[in-house]
Amino acid sequence: MLSKNTKKPEPKIVLKNTFVDSTNNTKTEVGIKKFSKKETKKVTHKLDSLLKRINKRHDFHGSILVAKKGKLVYQNQIGYADFRKKSDLSEASIYQLASVSKQFTAASIMILKERNQLKLTDTITTYFPKFPFKNITIQHLLNHTSGLPNYFWVAENEWKKNKAPTNIEMMEFLETSKVSKFSWPGRKFDYSNTGYFVLASLIEKISEMSYSEFLDANIFKPLKMNDSFAFSFQNDTLRLNQLIGYRLYRGWRHRTIPNTINDAIVGDKNIYATSKDLLKWVNGLNSGKIISKESLELMYAKGKTKYGRKIPYGFGFRINEKNDEKIVYHFGKWNGFSTGITQYQEDDLVVIILEHTSYRSMDYLNKQIKKIVEENFDS
């Protein structure tokens, strides 16, 4: 047992400069361009200082990436990947994206739409005739206006098997569940993990591929996101550099957060990626490599209820429009992972934050990063 006078051990802080001296070469790896070391010297110093501060004061163990006009401005990480082994995080560390995963599900639906394999006005019962909730369209699911109940509750209270249910098993189980919907389709915005697990199930049904295979073939491989994948607990094998989540225990110790009965389902969560892969994703999505400009505009546009009331969500993205600034973003929180992708569209600025020790101030950190970039980087 620790005595009262025992001090909290200082974490080993490794801040490795992402950038290397170069002449005319502006590439760090396939699919990513960067600003020069000279251009980013000041902002790098400030953001490195921020990383050290949030690690020490707020137990931040994760990565920050900033890009401007699609080019890498800054990428670095701090803290531990494994607290027992005291191994450090690196650029190769792979994080669970939590709800940031939803944008990949939404983009996959738009891919199928562009191939004329579905319509946004199609109802779920078109593809799953025994689905117990009627008159719910694909667009209702994308915009979180479906009114569906929470599948977490169903799994935790009605699922009796020891093995966690997969998507298809939960879709079949809902046919016999006594849970009722929250509201009528289209009436109001109600953020729903259930809606996105159903969307992933639709992707599997229509494409005749697993969700993981579909993403790999249609998004990850085309964008050379070589360290990204969907992961289903109890069905997939842990990969090299795949992180686990932690929480603080008794002040400064870190305990792993175990998987739950909800962790085999994909679509609403359970995509893993590195920060650089996520920059490839944002750049690829915005440049038309994955879907058309028209489909992207739908993803980035506020949805509406059936009464015409606008809601702050597009397809897989939250939308914030105020003071002549449009912010397209999503945060995620699950099993110790805190994640965020934020696009400040007027500034053509992207901020990607990935963390795995239950960090709680994602919105505040985003604002701090944006302020530092505004004050210390001009391009």
The string of DSSP letters for 121-176 reads T-BGGGT-TT-SS-S-BHHHHHHT-S----HHHHHHHT--SSSPP-HHHHHHHHTT
Residues 209 and 323 in one domain: yes
Residues 85 and 218 in one domain: no
By the 10 Å C-beta count (0-12 exposed, 13-18 middle, 19+ buried), 376 is classed as middle
Residues 302 and 176 in one domain: yes
Residues 82 and 116 in one domain: no
Residues 221 and 248 in one domain: yes
Measured in degrees and rounded to the nearest 5, phi and psi for residue 28 equal -95, -35
Residues 197 and 73 in one domain: no
Q: Could you tell me the pLDDT band of residue 276, with boundaries at 50, 70 and 90?
A: very high
More confident residue, 10 or 78: 78
Mean pLDDT of 246-254: 91
Last residue of a domain, one of 335, 351, 367: 335
In a domain, 342, yes or no: no
| Predicted confidence (pLDDT) at residue 9 exceeds the cutoff of 70 | no
More confident residue, 198 or 27: 198
Q: How far apart are CA 104 and CA 111, in angstroms?
A: 10
| 68-107 confidence digits (pLDDT tens) | 999 999 999 999 999 999 999 999 999 999 999 999 999 9
Residues 88 and 111 in one domain: no
Residues 134 and 225 in one domain: yes
Please report the pLDDT score of residue 23 as a whole number: 27
Last residue of a domain, one of 299, 319, 335: 335
Residues 264 and 175 in one domain: yes
Please report the pLDDT score of residue 5 as a whole number: 39
CB 200 within 8 A of CB 267: yes
In a domain, 225, yes or no: yes
For position 178, which CATH number holds? 3.40.710.10
Residues belonging to the chain: 379
Pick from 294, 348, 341, 298: nearest CA to 325? 348
| Predicted confidence (pLDDT) at residue 195 exceeds the cutoff of 70 | yes
Q: Could you tell me the pLDDT band of residue 21, with boundaries at 50, 70 and 90?
A: very low
Please report the pLDDT score of residue 251 as a whole number: 81
Query: CA gyration radius for the chain?
Result: 21
- Compute how many other C-beta atoms are within 10 angstroms of the C-beta atom of residue 86: 11
- Compute how many other C-beta atoms are within 10 angstroms of the C-beta atom of residue 266: 29
- SS3 at position 144: coil
Q: What's the chain's average pLDDT? A: 92
The token pair at 257 is 């957060």
Residues 78 and 110 in one domain: no
Domain that holds residue 379: 25-93+359-379
| Predicted confidence (pLDDT) at residue 16 exceeds the cutoff of 50 | no
Mean pLDDT of 348-363: 97
Q: How far apart are CA 377 and CA 68, in angstroms?
A: 10
More confident residue, 219 or 23: 219
The overall longest dimension of the chain from CA atoms, in Å, is: 67
Q: How far apart are CA 235 and CA 222, in angstroms?
A: 25
Please report the pLDDT score of residue 30 as a whole number: 62
Mean pLDDT of 180-199: 93
In a domain, 18, yes or no: no
Please report the pLDDT score of residue 4 as a whole number: 36
Pick from 369, 299, 368, 361: nearest CA to 333? 361
| 127-141 confidence digits (pLDDT tens) | 999 999 999 999 999
Which residues, including other chains, have CB under 8 Å from residue 221's CB and lie 6 or more apart? none
CB 281 within 8 A of CB 220: no
- SS3 at position 263: coil
Mean pLDDT of 243-270: 95
In a domain, 146, yes or no: yes
In a domain, 341, yes or no: no
- Cα dist from 287 to 171, 275, 342, whole Å: 35, 18, 17
- The angle formed by the CA atoms of residues 187, 318 and 274, to the nearest 5 degrees, is 140
| Predicted confidence (pLDDT) at residue 47 exceeds the cutoff of 90 | yes
| Predicted confidence (pLDDT) at residue 175 exceeds the cutoff of 80 | yes
Residue 34 β-bridge partners:
72
Q: How far apart are CA 333 and CA 104, in angstroms?
A: 16
In a domain, 348, yes or no: no
Q: How far apart are CA 351 and CA 137, in angstroms?
A: 32
Residues 87 and 113 in one domain: no
| Predicted confidence (pLDDT) at residue 246 exceeds the cutoff of 50 | yes
CB 61 within 8 A of CB 357: yes
Beta-carbon-side half-sphere exposure of residue 321 (alpha carbons within 13 Å) = 11
In a domain, 7, yes or no: no
Cβ-count burial 121-143 (b if 16+ within 10 Å, e if not): eebbeebbeebbbeebbbbbbbb
Residues 40 and 145 in one domain: no
In the chain, the number of structural domains is 2
Q: Could you tell me the pLDDT band of residue 181, with boundaries at 50, 70 and 90?
A: confident
| Predicted confidence (pLDDT) at residue 342 exceeds the cutoff of 80 | yes
In a domain, 345, yes or no: no
